[in-house]
Amino acid sequence: MDKEKQKEYNKKWYEENKEKHKEYYQANKERKKEYREENKERIKEKQKEWYEENKEKQREYKKKYREENKEKIKQKNKEWNEKNKEKQKEWHKKWYEENKETEKQKDKEYREANKERINEKQKEWNKTENGKKSGAIRRWKYQGLTDTDLDYIYDLYKNTTNCWVCNHDFSKYCKCMDHNHETGDFRQILCKKCNCHDNWKNYSEIV
């Protein structure tokens, strides 16, 4: 029998015995499942053994695959991330909720162990433009400023060279951000003298 005829024959046989085949497959599937259930531990053990024996090979193989398919993997990951953005957010949130305490502890330990390095970094950061800005904003918030346009206020603060009330030069006098303590709104940029005990109110032309 030639190849084509054999193929034809196989196909016909399969069509005729489809149901039987299905039954057999189903039964086999059940049997396999049972076997797996019964030998769960043994299979696990075997898998572990195999994994241990082939660890290096597997690692090599994976590494090679990753190197050869760099772009493809990157693309796939990107696609996957796009598709699962919301889900990932959910997972991350859930994971964090579940691991909050251990994470906090880990963070604390890390900070303890790297105190010097972190302090050094913080000092460096505080000297940068962004560091100065975030430091000032943090201070203002702590003092009770609730204004939302903090970028604008900081720009104003940075570029103001003289006290808005007495015109003292800030290169000689300390610069302060003055805000309404009741509403939390930004009010003005003052020298320390004017800001102290709301001295600026004594300047009649401004009140």
Q: Measured from the CB of residue 164, what is the shortest distance to Zn ion in angstroms?
A: 8
Q: Does 191 bind Zn ion (CB under 5 A)?
A: yes
What stretch of H or E contains 188?
strand 186-191
Instruction: From residue 35, give the alpha-carbon distance in Å to each of 28, 47, 61, 126, 159.
Output: 10, 15, 31, 65, 78
Quick one: which of 145, 177, 189, 194 contacts Zn ion (CB under 5 A)? 194
Q: Measured from the CB of residue 199, what is the shortest distance to Zn ion in angstroms?
A: 8
Q: Of 99 and 167, which has the nearer Cβ to Zn ion?
A: 167
Q: Of 145 and 194, which has the nearer Cβ to Zn ion?
A: 194
Q: Does 163 bind Zn ion (CB under 5 A)?
A: yes
Q: Of 98 and 198, which has the nearer Cβ to Zn ion?
A: 198
φ, ψ dihedrals at 177, nearest 5°: -95, 120
Q: Does 166 bind Zn ion (CB under 5 A)?
A: yes
Q: Which residue has the tokens 């241990």?
A: 52
Using the rule CB under 5 A, give the single segment among 10-18, 104-112, 121-129, 155-163 that binds Zn ion.
155-163
Radius of gyration of the chain (CA): 36
Q: Is the dihedral of CA 177, 181, 184, 185 positive or negative?
A: negative
Q: Of 27 and 196, which has the nearer Cβ to Zn ion?
A: 196
Give the count of residues interacting with Zn ion (CB under 5 A).
6
CA atoms within 13 A on the CB side of 104: 6
Q: Of 150 and 194, which has the nearer Cβ to Zn ion?
A: 194
Here the contacts of 199-204 (C-beta below 8 Å, separation 24 or greater) are 200/165, 203/165, 203/166
**Which residues of the shown chain bind Zn ion in the complex (CB under 5 A)?**
163, 165-166, 168, 191, 194
